[in-house]
Amino acid sequence: MKDIDIHSLSADEWDELKFPRPEVQEFDRVVERAISRRGFLGGVLAFGSGAAVMGTGLLKGTTAMAQPASRFPFTPIAAQTDNTIHVPEGYSWKTLVRWGDPLFSDAEGAFDPQNGVPVAMSDRVFGENTDGMELFNVDGREIIAINSEYVNPEVNLPHTSDGMPTSADDVRMLQNFQGVSVIEIAEGADGWAVVVDSPYNRRIHHNTPMTFSGPAAGHDLLKTDADPTGMASLGTFNNCGSGRTPWGTYLTCEENFNGYFGATAEVTAGRAVLDGFRRYGVNTAVEPGRYNYHGFDPRFDVATNPNEPHRAGYIVEIDPAKPDSTPIKHTALGRFKHENAAYGIAADGRVAVYMGDDERGEFMYRWLSRDVYVPGGDTSTLLVDGELSVAVFEDDMTGRWVPLTPESTGMDAAHIAVFTRMAGSRVGATTMDRPEWIAVHPNAAEAYCCLTNNSRRGTLTDAGTVRTNAGGDPMTVNAVNPRDTNRYGQIVRWRPAGGDHAADSFAWDLYVMAGNPTVAEGAQAGSANINEGNLFNSPDGMVIDNTGLIWIQTDGDDSNEGHFAGMGNNQMLAGDPVTGRIERFLTGPNGCEVTGLCWSSDRRTMFVGIQHPGDNGGDWPDHGGALARSAVIAIKRDDNDLIG
Ligand code: FEO
Ligand code: CA
Ligand code: CA
Ligand code: CA
């Protein structure tokens, strides 16, 4: 780690680097399995009978040209390597809000292009590193809820030499720049802008009071000296992707929460707690870590507060219509590195919520409510009472949801809620290539998950060993994760049996395997719907619009060299679920990740998030040597027509 500037890394990259320290386990016929997978891979790419089942010709070798009229309303753009944003001809973009922009008039002028934001105003401005977002129309007003996933301390604390906090104020500043911003926005003659001082504007950060619901609420595992009830948590952490409920609330998803904790002394907690730290990557070494919160804020010191990490890693519900409401951490939906949350309504009206755990070799989950959703009815039990299941993908392109219950896991309900990863391991869940966003088709019973990459899938570390996830589950190559050392990623699609999101089983295929046919052959070239004109790697954000187009955002290697030649900066593409055709719509500035997507209520504006622009020292969007600022942009068609 010596030569790596830890503050130049994204939250995901940091977590990859630092946690977990993968264990290896005995060779288990890995070669035999890999060979059989190669055989299967040929089957996937040829995609015989499966294609008919899934209703697509995509991987049969048919080309986009053979398909009927294009469903793409734009002319695709080329890959780019410059420090700005490109969109197709006939479309324009404009910044909606940048890190440091005021949400309240007392913070107007608070942002300085060289010095950032003073601590006194750090919870009065838009947060850093925008990620998932959703828009709600509340009594005719447009309210957008936007995650701020993490901070780049070198940018956010420009007065420090190396970005490491030097005081409690520095820590408080970083804590305030993260979490969620709820903002009223409005469209005027100059486009969309923040409604400063709107009564709906709200900053939720690392110290905002929250409560818990579900099996772990009030449990001993959640109690701390400061909160002996185990019910009054402070803050939401590493808010990555987003979700929404049919009843109009926002779901923010706590991902790499482990990275905020550290130890000032040897940690002497019980074995279950230490096992949990190991599985979730909570650092117990006595060192400053990435943020050194624990150096100035004892709450984050696991030597004295070993239960504090149990209070993060959840799906958190926020009511954007009620600025004074207390966010709820729903423990029934499990504790892991939540990427996003995408719901579907089952045939009988129950609510299914699909969720991924973004770490190498972790799992995909489904929540299914006990009660049915009735518009206007009581929704208070729908994320509290129900069943959490984990996905098993079989190599025959079927799969099933295995319930995590005391009977199936040997764990009680509270432990399943807090140590969900261990519960998944106990029932033999399939280790996945880092599940990022899941998208549910609004008009068809199918869903998609971005499996972004997995540098350690199947990799032999020594003769006779195979990489495992942090729990020791082997990351053997399998049909749904078919590539050893998966550098490009793939998108899996599944259809629940009977078209019912409550079904126990599903059929699956790979919608796309990203790759690079200009530099590689075979599996590394990608699936048939990858070509020189749409190269990308590491699919991450994903939303399906009302017309059924799949919008895919990337968080990958933007070196434009070697394996990644021709891919350019991170980008957003659109995919046709029927033909498999994929076209590039947007390219981001240098160093950025494109993440977060929602629409205005009239569907004439698309909002897109630009995270960590100018990583390693860029100056987008203000340029001229100013501090780089993550931002949400508004994209419109020049003819103001619908845009998804
Ligand atoms: Fe925060 Fe897995 O992306
Ligand atoms: Ca990210
Ligand atoms: Ca992501
Ligand atoms: Ca990512």
**Alpha carbon of 552 to ligand 1 centroid (Å):** 14
User: How confident is residue 449, by pLDDT bands cut at 50, 70 and 90?
Assistant: very high
Cα radius of gyration (the chain): 23
What pLDDT digit, counting tens, does each position of 86-109 carry?
999 999 999 999 999 999 999 999
Residues 7-22, mean pLDDT to the nearest whole number: 71
Q: What is the pLDDT of residue 129?
A: 98
Predicted pLDDT of residue 121:
98
Amino acid 122 reads S
Residues 200-235: tens digit of each pLDDT: 999 999 999 999 999 999 999 999 999 999 999 999
Ligand 1 atom with the smallest distance to the CA of 339 is 2
Ligand 1 centre and the CA of 612: distance in Å? 13
Quick one: pLDDT at residue 328? 99
Under 8 Å CB-to-CB from 148, ≥6 apart: which residues?
99, 126, 127, 128, 129, 130, 131, 177, 178, 179, 180, 181, 239, 630
Confidence of residue 45 (pLDDT cuts 50, 70, 90): very low
CB 617 within 8 A of CB 139: no
Q: Mean pLDDT check: name the lowest of 12-26, 40-54, 394-408, 510-524.
A: 40-54
Would you state the pLDDT for residue 614? 76
pLDDT (mean) for 347-374: 98
The pLDDT of 256-282, averaged and rounded, is 96
Q: Name the least confident of 32-46, 147-161, 383-397, 399-413.
A: 32-46
3-state secondary structure 386-438: EEEEEEEECCCCEEEEEECCHHHHCCCHHHHHHCHHHHHHHCCCCCCECEEEE
Asked if residues 205 and 178 have their Cβ atoms less than 8 Å apart, the reply is: yes
pLDDT of residue 143: 99
Strand, helix or coil at 500? coil
Asked if residue 65 has pLDDT above 70, the reply is no
Write out the residues surrounding ion ligand 3, Cβ under 5 A: 436, 540
pLDDT (0 to 100) of residue 69 = 56
Ligand 1 atom at minimal distance to the Cα of residue 131: 1
What per-residue confidence (pLDDT) applies to 17?
A: 76
Say yes or no to pLDDT of 25 above 60.
Answer: no
The answer to whether 575 and 549 have CB atoms below 8 angstroms apart is yes
What's the gap in Å between 615 CA and the centre of ligand 2?
Answer: 12
Q: Using CA of residue 158, residue 161, residue 162, residue 165, what is the dihedral sign?
A: negative
Note the pLDDT of residue 182. 98
The confidence score (pLDDT) of residue 117 equals 98
Give distance in angstroms: CA of 31 to centre of ligand 3: 32
Mean pLDDT of the chain: 91
With 50 as the cut, is the pLDDT of residue 34 above it?
no
- Residues at CB less than 6 angstroms from ligand 1: 11-12, 149, 240, 255, 339, 358, 436
Q: Say how many Å lie between the CA of residue 451 and the centre of ligand 2.
A: 14
Predicted confidence band of residue 11 (pLDDT cuts 50, 70, 90): confident
- Encoded tokens for 354: 């699909």
Residues with beta carbon < 5 A to ion ligand 2? 10, 593
Ligand 1 nearest-atom number relative to CA 337: 2
- Residue 617: per-residue pLDDT: 77
Atom of ligand 1 nearest to the CA of 238: 1
| This prediction's pTM | 0.93
Which residue(s) pair with 403 in the sheet? Answer: 389
Q: What is the pLDDT of residues 575-596, one digit of tens each?
A: 999 999 999 999 999 999 999 9
| Residue predicted with more confidence, 253 or 614 | 253
pLDDT at 490 over 80: yes
CA–CA distance, 284 with 19 (Å, rounded to integer): 11
- Which backbone phi and psi does 638 adopt, to 5 degrees? -65, -25
pLDDT of residue 615: 82
- Tell me what the mean pLDDT of segment 533-552 comes to: 97
Which residue has a Cα nearest atom 1 of ligand 1?
240
Looking at residue 365, its pLDDT comes to: 99
Q: Is 31's pLDDT higher than 80?
A: no
Residue 555 has pLDDT above 80, yes or no: yes
pLDDT of residue 36: 33
**Ligand 4 centroid, distance to 13 Cα (angstroms):** 8
597-640: per-residue pLDDT in tens? 999 999 999 999 999 997 877 899 999 999 999 999 999 999 99
Return the HEC string of 550-570. EEEEECCCCCCCHHHCCCCCC
Taking residues 236-261, report their average pLDDT: 98
The torsion of the CA quartet 562, 564, 565, 571, rounded to 10 degrees, works out to -160
Asked if the bond preceding 22 is cis, omega within 30° of 0, the reply is no
Q: CA-to-CA distance for 83 and 617, rounded, in angstroms? A: 12
Q: What is the pLDDT of residue 1?
A: 36
